[in-house]
Structure 1
Amino acid sequence: MFVLELTYTAPLEAVDTVLEAHVAWLDEQYARGVFLASGRKNPRDGGVILAVAGDRARIEEIVAGDPFVTAGVCAYRVTEFVATKTAPALEAYRETL
């Protein structure tokens, strides 16, 4: 499982010009079963996405396609972790060491 932390690298006005395309991209990833949860940070200086994929290389490929990235308005920090405990609703994503 992966935690994707977005940090805006441009003013919010520039981020907002790409927001609609970013949301469409998010919707695609949810439809593919890659993203489990996402949202803005508070204060609004980026966002966080909880994701699943076969490996880090796949996640990095997906992240590279984010319109925020291609427009140059954000940077990603990708953290991989093993989800050995989950809420019951996320049991399908539970992993073992």
Structure 2
Amino acid sequence: MMLFIIIVTYIKPIEEIDRFLVNHRAFLETYYIKGQFIASGPLNPRTGGILISKGKSKQELLDIFNNDPFHIHGIATYEVMEFNPVKYHEAFKPFIDGL
């Protein structure tokens, strides 16, 4: 397993994003329950969002996000970046140990 940062960029007006926000958050919850997603939230200003995830590969995460309502309705794009956390807060250790 590796760690990834996913940058979500809105490509439609915020009113369109808000129409699918409940479904998007339900989609995210599925992967929080599985222990794959670690943290997520909107940018300020609301031009997109950030998500931290564990995963096997960049392609695995791109495949997962193909099922996101934001992707299905063509209202957001995704950039997936792998990173190696060499320093981290002690509270984050359980996530690192599970990699």
Overall identity of the aligned pairs, in %:
34
Among 61, 75, 78, the alignment partner of 2:77 is 75
CA RMSD of aligned residues (A): 1.2
Among 53, 56, 71, the alignment partner of 2:55 is 53
TM-score by length of 1: 0.91
CA distance in 1, matches of 2:53, 2:59: 13
Structure whose residues are more often strand by fraction: 2
CA distance in 2, matches of 1:7, 1:45: 6
The answer to which of 50-59 and 37-46 deviates more is 50-59
TM-score by length of 2: 0.89
Amino acid at match of 2:5: V
Number of corresponding residues: 95
Q: Is the 8 A contact 1:2 1:81 kept in 2?
A: yes
C-alpha offsets along residues 33-59 of structure 1, whole Å, 9 cap, x if unaligned? 111010000001100001101121211
Q: What are structure 1's unaligned runs of at least 5 residues?
A: none
